[in-house]
Structure 1
């Protein structure tokens, strides 16, 4: 069985150093002390994040992963001031291209873009796809509290649609005010608050809202070819497709139902949440052509990365689509 995973993260020592020089090592907007503590105690080391020749390959071989599609992790220049982000994103994509070239049959790549300058971001996406042979783009969180449905960002999505490459929406830190409102309490520790507001729930809710807003904005009527990828089994949204249809159909002014856009333009991945009930639910909601495998390495290194695939209820054809066929088609992987 051929296996491709599409949400696998990488960092460059050179780019991290340049980011630190540009903004200061302590600068980390919208990150609470609880989240900072959680990160410091749970995230992979820079050595693991930067590796593309030893531990990563050993992990891939152990779980029979033929190819990873790499994207920048937390150390990303995406949301910096465009005065520095444009050049840093170019450098970051060049560094990622070098990483892919160390083993081009084992790696693909998703571009990082300076979203604060959408015209420059669109130009960089075109370069990354046409010149560096990248397979799409990953957008992380939001930019200065603007979600990506804002017309300001439209040039990025127009370019992705024109190039026929997917846009992967990835979670990031939520605003401290949201953490305070939803997840802080005297009944539990600051560490639990940090977990609840981030990888436990909060940032999944936030990036699910990101996808929801894209649909309601009507962007898929403008760009019917645009493809979004949503990790963690769709970041909660698929649970509410029927509910959203019931509530929105009479009011939102879209040409189709919310669920029609979602099932046509969105692809979902597990991001290492390797659960058979969730897979079966998404199969029923989305169909086999919109499910793509992902591990979220090295943030997640699930021990059932291979056995999960051996014990699904998928038909052989559905399993082939899930493990590699859909990824090859959507990300244009050879």
Structure 2
């Protein structure tokens, strides 16, 4: 069975040397050993990455520049230049290993027209399968009216946007004071990125752009498990902005999810019950998560053959327009 992993990070030493903030994830407490593990693997494609993929049966990684990436306080001018450099670099990597890697574009969201133009270039000229953005850019979220052209371009190109955590926080959460363990992937990233996705939903982005698809990692940043509450609370809101559908109806249609970083058959079973297997895609979160436990957890999940194939590769092949594959191919 083919296995396609959608949230797999890389870095570019030359670009990181010029803009050190591109790989600075801030005050997240990690062990020195883990820091070295990640630092060695991020810029590598062939010495460690491909052998690990082979060892655990991962056929394709969809690569994206590591967080915080271009959202790390760059000026608009620098972000435009860095995005072009990063995307050209990744295109060369994919060209060297076209059967094993695909690409998500990095985008200069500091300049919305330039972001739309770079997305079009990356898809139409470089062959990328979509884009990945690391949450907000400064204090600007993607429901800002200035991004309407970007959403139109995304819809026209018929590619997804992966909304990933990792941007420098727009504000300090007092709940993390004295408890740094909550910062980052343990808690704040999921709440912040899930909140960003809800801003898009409630502001009507998906009503104005019904063909737009947003991908959330980490089993959907809590959202699949909140659908009934979203609907019940929406029904009690004071008159104001209205949606074409109930909030839950956008999750599983416009908003898709991956398994990245959540190695839990129980959570996967709940997500399938909530939004359906057609809206779920396999991912690892390499090198921040370990490939072996991720593939083992997926293999151990109680899934029908049809659902397992959808999540492992079928949904990615359809969404990203990757070459279909069969057991007999």
Same fold (TM over 0.5): yes
Query: In 1, distance between residues paired with 2:22 and 2:106?
Result: 22
Query: In 2, distance between residues paired with 1:246 and 1:158?
Result: 31
Matched, 1:303 2:303: no
Q: What is the count of residue pairs matched by the alignment?
A: 318
Q: Tell me the secondary structure at the aligned position of residue 271 of structure 1.
A: coil
* 2:327 corresponds to: none
For the aligned residue pairs, the C-alpha RMSD in angstroms reads 2.0
Q: Tell me the secondary structure at the aligned position of residue 215 of structure 2.
A: strand
Which of 216, 222, 227 aligns to 2:208? It is 222
Q: Is the 8 A contact 1:5 1:69 kept in 2?
A: yes
Q: Which runs of 5+ in 2 are unaligned?
A: 324-329
Query: In 2, distance between residues paired with 1:226 and 1:322?
Result: 20
Q: Which runs of 5+ in 1 are unaligned?
A: 186-192
Per the normalisation by structure 2, the TM-score is: 0.91
Once the two structures are overlaid, the 10-residue window that deviates more, 164-173 or 126-135, is: 164-173
Q: Tell me the secondary structure at the aligned position of residue 138 of structure 1.
A: strand
Which of 227, 230, 234 aligns to 1:241? It is 227
Matched, 1:70 2:63: yes
Which of 187, 192, 195 aligns to 1:209? It is 195
Matches within 5 A, 1:37-116: 38=30, 42-43=34-35, 44-74=37-67, 76-79=69-72, 80-116=74-110
Once the two structures are overlaid, the 10-residue window that deviates more, 163-172 or 310-319, is: 310-319
Tell me the CA shift for residue 47 of structure 1: 3.3
Query: In 2, distance between residues paired with 1:94 and 1:319?
Result: 34
Tell me the CA shift for residue 270 of structure 1: 1.3
Query: In 2, distance between residues paired with 1:327 and 1:9?
Result: 17
- What are the superposed Cα offsets for residues 3-49 of structure 1, whole Å, 9 maximum, x if unpaired? 000000011112212324xxxx6996xx76x43x5486643443310
Query: In 2, distance between residues paired with 1:45 and 1:318?
Result: 32
Q: Is the 8 A contact 1:38 1:194 kept in 2?
A: no
Which of 142, 149, 159 aligns to 1:155? It is 149
Matched, 1:17 2:17: yes
